[in-house]
Amino acid sequence: MNKREYINQAEENLFHVYNRFPVVFEKGQGVHLYDTDGKEYLDFASGIGVMALGYGNERYKEALKNQIDNITHTSNLYYHLPMIEAAGKICNASGMDKVFFTNSGAEAIEGAIKTAKRYAYNRDGFAGHEIIAMGHSFHGRTVGSLSVTGNEHYREPFLPLMDGVKFAEFNNIESVKAQITDKTCAILLETVQGEGGIYPADKEFLAEIRDICTKSDILLILDEIQCGMGRTGSLYAYQQYGVQPDILTTAKALGSGVPVGAFLVTDKVASNSLVPGDHGTTYGGNPLVCAAVNVTMDIMEEDKIIQHVAELTPYLEEKLEDISSKYDFVSGHRGLGFMQGIVLNETVKPGEVVAAALEHGLVILSAGADVIRLLPPLVIEKNDIDEMSKLLMEVLDEFK
């Protein structure tokens, strides 16, 4: 079948909740994707930040094949070796103490919310506590994660959602302070906002929130589902800020392509919150996905991928600065590491640029109302950045 026939067949059966681009990807290798027509695409989206190792990594593939030969599922009624190993690696690397593996980032947020509420319930002896989240945030599309997502467009059709959520302004500490009451059990934010437009937290802002939470026994929840796992030049972005969360959520690149997420907590939170029967998952942390976590962590450490991101970031930012200075409708760029956004003015729509880029063989994303988002695999090299810059400028030339 040709591409159009594949797409028509898909639309006969798939629930149309995505406006998919007209391409049918068939395979990937390195940092490139290939469609069913054999066309090559440079991937600067990495499956929305998932494919940290790119495509076709032989060590990664071999680890998953070996695990399939052994066992893929046991349920959480039993221990298994990949989970034990993965738990140790992620706790040691993050500085957290306990981990609960989930199937997705949204489920990690759900677990974090429940943990915070249970912590406050155990402490105070009553329910009805509140969470402060941030405007323009994005935490997922389940009812709980949508309740703490600071975008009315996403929430409005599904009201009423979870009670007890207040929204503050990101990077405005006075806005946060104004929302705090004796019912506040947690403050939740992305260390770097992704969907909202690639906004890193200010160091002073995050430090002050950490101080407030410590003094008032409020739990600090950091969502690093998108910005974590090496993307910003450290394993987790908060490690560049000199703070430690009480609860951390992670997913996307955690398994480099298999559906796995996690929320991690400190010993203090673990000892005073969820107990057996409070939370669970049938598939979460099964042997297959934990094998993917293990090999991902190993490759990142042994191939020095995080250092690679930190070393190449100035070169990427230099190219983005060149792009920003060349076009009147580009007002600048911002981000950390390999999580970057190019800001457009109102005359050019990001979605149109993303669609045009696909025609040129470049896969990129949008974020917010005015940002082109770049989330390349963490294994890109300088020549890939050069190719991205060349292709993107060809695309932007069409919008002059």
Q: What are phi and psi of 11, to 5 degrees?
A: -70, -15
How many folded domains does the chain comprise?
Answer: 2
Q: Answer yes or no: is 393 within a domain.
A: yes
Query: From CA 240, how far away is CA 232, in angstroms rounded?
Result: 9
Are both 173 and 28 inside the same structural domain? no
Read off the pLDDT of each residue in 43-52 and give the average, rounded to a whole number: 98
- Which pLDDT score, from 0 to 100, does residue 314 have? 98
Asked whether residue 400 carries a pLDDT value surpassing 90, the answer given is no
Query: From CA 80, how far away is CA 122, in angstroms rounded?
Result: 31
CA trace torsion 369, 371, 376, 380 (10° rounding)? 170
Q: Answer yes or no: is 64 within a domain.
A: no
Express the helix, strand and coil content of the chain in percent, nearest 5 each.
45, 20, 35
- Band (1; pLDDT cuts 50, 70, 90): confident
Query: From CA 126, how far away is CA 114, in angstroms rounded?
Result: 14
Identify the domain containing residue 187 by its residue range: 71-302
CATH of the domain at 284: 3.40.640.10
User: What would the pLDDT profile of 114-136 be if each residue is shown by its tens digit?
Assistant: 999 999 999 999 999 999 999 99
Domain end (from 302, 324, 344): 302
For the record, the structure tokens of 82 come out as 């990949």
Read off the pLDDT of each residue in 254-260 and give the average, rounded to a whole number: 98
Are both 290 and 314 inside the same structural domain? no
Are both 99 and 175 inside the same structural domain? yes
CB 361 within 8 A of CB 40: yes
Are both 298 and 309 inside the same structural domain? no
- Band (95; pLDDT cuts 50, 70, 90): very high
Are both 151 and 248 inside the same structural domain? yes
CATH of the domain at 387: 3.90.1150.10
Per DSSP, the residues of 145-173 read HHHT-B-HHHHGGG-S--SSEEEE-TT-H
Q: Answer yes or no: is 297 within a domain.
A: yes
User: What would the pLDDT profile of 287-323 be if each residue is shown by its tens digit?
Assistant: 999 999 999 999 999 999 999 999 999 999 999 999 9
Query: From CA 227, how far away is CA 251, in angstroms rounded?
Result: 10
CB 330 within 8 A of CB 13: no
Asked whether residue 276 carries a pLDDT value surpassing 90, the answer given is yes
Q: Answer yes or no: is 61 within a domain.
A: no
Are both 159 and 142 inside the same structural domain? yes
Q: Answer yes or no: is 62 within a domain.
A: no
Are both 49 and 96 inside the same structural domain? no
Q: Which residues pair with 221 in a beta bridge?
A: 188, 247
Are both 112 and 255 inside the same structural domain? yes
Are both 322 and 297 inside the same structural domain? no
Are both 340 and 250 inside the same structural domain? no
- Which pLDDT score, from 0 to 100, does residue 309 have? 98
Domain end (from 238, 268, 302): 302
Are both 202 and 348 inside the same structural domain? no
Give ∠ CA 167-168-171 in degrees, rounded to 5. Answer: 145
CA trace torsion 249, 254, 260, 262 (10° rounding)? -30
- Which pLDDT score, from 0 to 100, does residue 56 have? 98
CB 309 within 8 A of CB 338: yes
Residue 350, preceding peptide bond in cis (omega within 30° of 0): no
Give the strand pairing for 199-200 and 192-193.
antiparallel
Q: Answer yes or no: is 120 within a domain.
A: yes
**Cα dihedral 315, 320, 321, 323 sign:** positive
Read off the pLDDT of each residue in 68-96 and give the average, rounded to a whole number: 98
Domain end (from 269, 302, 335): 302
- Which pLDDT score, from 0 to 100, does residue 243 have? 98
- Band (359; pLDDT cuts 50, 70, 90): very high
Q: Answer yes or no: is 66 within a domain.
A: no
Are both 164 and 104 inside the same structural domain? yes
Q: Answer yes or no: is 65 within a domain.
A: no
Q: Where are the beta strands (DSSP E) in the chain?
A: 25-29, 32-35, 40-43, 98-102, 130-134, 165-168, 184-190, 192-193, 199-200, 219-223, 247-250, 261-265, 330-336, 339-344, 362-363, 365-367, 371-374
